[in-house]
Amino acid sequence: MTSISRKALLQNIIVAAAFLNGFVIMTIELLGGRVLSPYFGTSVYVWGSIITIFMLSLSLGYLWGGRLSSRNPNPDTFALFFLAAAILSLPIIFVAEWTMTQVFLNVEDPRYGSLIACTLLYFLPIFFMGMVSPYSIRLLVSSEENSGRMAGLLYFVSTLGSALGTLMTSFYFVLWFEIDTIMWGSIAALLLCGAGVALVHRIPVNEASGVHRDEN
């Protein structure tokens, strides 16, 4: 029996994490419309607010994630992004109603109401999910020659994840589950990514460890 090397396993886990990250981002974005609609309606500007805030938090996440990747890049830091995103997604389940009620009571205009509520609920978790992309590229790139190829692969899997997240959420999840249940699923997926990366990173490189073994 041949087992793959720890490095290859870690690379695969990082790619899978980028996929799930893309998936979860779009799941949370699509649910955002449903979370906000009882307070701000479904007018075109509510979707405008959601997409604006998601794009903004992602863009700043990319910037910050890229910066961090130039200082001692390591899988543990990467795993922490997922942990942070998971924890910061909890308010969407537990304090969304309270938050939106406060915004609703204080902001008359549903355009700015939805923009503010959206910022409060989604900016931080999506910011951390944005950090995943550039950092994962840094972890995968081993040489200058393969950097473009790795970036392409990462864009591919994360955007494919986003496409599937959009499809599954809008076609099926909302029919099968309650919004909060889907949110718990997203949080679980994020934790799984973080835990997967951290654990594989901790597998001893030692040949005798039993996990990494070459029996040939």
What tokens does 165 get? Answer: 């997240």
CA nearest neighbour of 128 among 187, 75, 67, 82: 82
Q: Looking up tokens 């607010």, which residue turns up?
A: 49
For another protein, which is the closer residue by CB, 23 or 40?
A: 40
Question: Residue 13 CB, nearest distance to another protein (Å)?
Answer: 33
Size of interface with another protein, in residues (CB under 8 A): 20
Among 22, 61, 75, 110, binds another protein (CB under 8 A): 110
Of residues 14 through 73, those in contact with another protein by CB under 8 A are 34, 37-44, 46
For another protein, which is the closer residue by CB, 178 or 214?
A: 178
Q: Which residues contact 201 (CB under 8 A, 6 or more apart)?
A: 10, 74, 75, 76, 79
Q: Based on the shown chain and the rule CB under 8 A, indicate whether residue 214 belongs to the binding site for another protein.
A: no
Distance CA(211)–CA(11), nearest Å, equals 16
Q: Based on the shown chain and the rule CB under 8 A, indicate whether residue 105 belongs to the binding site for another protein.
A: yes
For another protein, which is the closer residue by CB, 109 or 214?
A: 109
Q: Which residues is 214 bridged to in the sheet?
A: 2
Kindly report the number of other CB atoms within 10 A of residue 207's CB atom.
9
Cα 213 → chain centroid: 32
Among 167, 180, 185, 195, binds another protein (CB under 8 A): 180
Residues that bind another protein (CB under 8 A): 34, 37-44, 46, 104-105, 110, 171, 174-175, 177-180
